[in-house]
Amino acid sequence: MQTQDIIFHSDCRYFNGYIPCKPHKNFGYHCVDCPIYDKTDGIILIIKLGAIGDVIRTTPLIHKFKKVYPTKKIWWLTYSPDILPSIVDKIFTFDTESIEILKSTKFDIAINLDKDLQAGTLFSSINADSKFGFTSVNGVPAPVNELAKHKFITGLFDDVSKSNKKSYLEEMFEICGWKFEGEEYILDCDTSIKWDLMNQGKKVIGLNTGCGARWVSRLWPDENWIELIQKIQEAGYFPLLLGGKQEDEKNKYYAEETGAYYPGYFSIPVFVSLMNQCDMIVSAVTMGMHIAIALKKKLILMNNIFNPNEFELYGRGELVMPSVDCTCYFSPKCKNSEYFCMEHLSVNSMYDAIQRHI
């Protein structure tokens, strides 16, 4: 076979250019007669670096891009490549190599959804026919156009942010010139992982007990978690303690005090699989909350420091707030010397919400 006579389709969605494509590796197909040749005619770049939860809750945009631009590839730049779904054509980690590749590529559309200097500065040097979101001008973040101005302004002033009536997803779709219409999160889940929770047919209520080391203003007191666990057990449900490395000691303590099941902490793909075993999730505003939404689980969400309009639960849960005002809006640590508002989010209010939805 003469190599100069072999046809290749570099515009195919599966084309790599440096290794065989999946259709060839799996089925031996060549481009000249490949029955699953998927012709593309451009690339869309999404930049969402952010925390893992923020990356997950931006994935509903993929539905819209696939619908409006079905023949374009989707590339994504992030700090959290492991959490992005396989439906994304190419995933880049924020590093020097990726930045050079992106700066040398021509995009049809580029969207940057992060209001920070790292993402904005890179975005200002990206070559794209159309740009949406946030850029950098003279060393400070700036909206690319009027579509991004609302989200930009709400990040500058607490009073404006508190008065905002739009959800995060409404804002993200608005930045791209669209209207949010209930598009769901997209998250891959490895269903081949087998779990034996020993729940004996009882409904499993996952308790995501942490909120990260930085955002201690969102922590619920230990005695409240213990009391809630006991109420769940008395009602005939199966509490499953969830968390990462930071919550390990806390969850071991809760398990020792109540007998609740705690299997340990895991890598993100395994953690997603574990959460998928639950009938309901109880969580503060965390990565686990976003995983629960992506898995379409019923969710009871504790919130004290964020605008409640921000959250989209898709009708599958309830948001529960403390009975007193919180004065630590969008603050990692509570600055109120008179009281800690999370102490006023009662066990009974959480338990009643669980009963309404389980």
Sorted by sequence, the CB contacts under 8 Å of residue 217 that are 6+ apart come out as 304, 305, 326, 328, 331, 332, 333, 334, 342
Domain ranges in the chain are: 3-33, 43-175, 204-357
φ, ψ for residue 225, nearest 5 deg: -60, -45
φ, ψ for residue 184, nearest 5 deg: -85, 160
The residues that bridge with 314 in the sheet, in sequence order, are: none
What pLDDT is attached to residue 144?
97
Q: How far apart are the first and last CA of the chain?
A: 64
SS3 at position 137: strand
Per-residue pLDDT of the chain (358 residues; tens, 9 = 90+): 566 678 899 999 999 999 999 999 999 999 999 999 999 999 999 999 988 999 999 999 999 999 999 999 999 999 999 999 999 999 999 999 999 999 999 999 999 999 999 999 999 999 999 999 999 999 999 999 999 999 999 999 988 988 999 999 999 999 999 999 999 999 999 999 999 999 999 999 999 998 766 667 778 989 999 999 999 999 999 999 999 999 999 999 999 999 999 999 999 999 999 999 999 999 998 999 999 999 999 999 998 878 899 999 999 999 999 888 887 776 767 776 776 788 889 999 999 999 999 9
The residues that bridge with 141 in the sheet, in sequence order, are: 136
Residue 298 amino acid letter: K
The 3-state secondary structure of 268-316 reads HHHHHHHHCCCCEEEECCCHHHHHHHHCCCEEEEECCCCCHHHCCCCCC
Domains 43-175 and 204-357 share a fold: yes
Q: Which fold has domain 43-175?
A: Rossmann fold (3.40.50)
DSSP symbols for 66-125: HHH-TTSEEEEEES-GGGS-TTSSEEEESSHHHHHHHHTSEEEEEEE---SHHHHHHHHT
What pLDDT is attached to residue 335?
74
Q: Report the distance separating Cα 153 and Cα 175, nearest Å.
A: 13
The CATH class of 204-357 is: alpha beta
Closest Cα to residue 121, out of 141, 107, 95? 141
Closest Cα to residue 304, out of 253, 275, 339, 280? 339
What pLDDT is attached to residue 72?
98
Sorted by sequence, the CB contacts under 8 Å of residue 28 that are 6+ apart come out as none
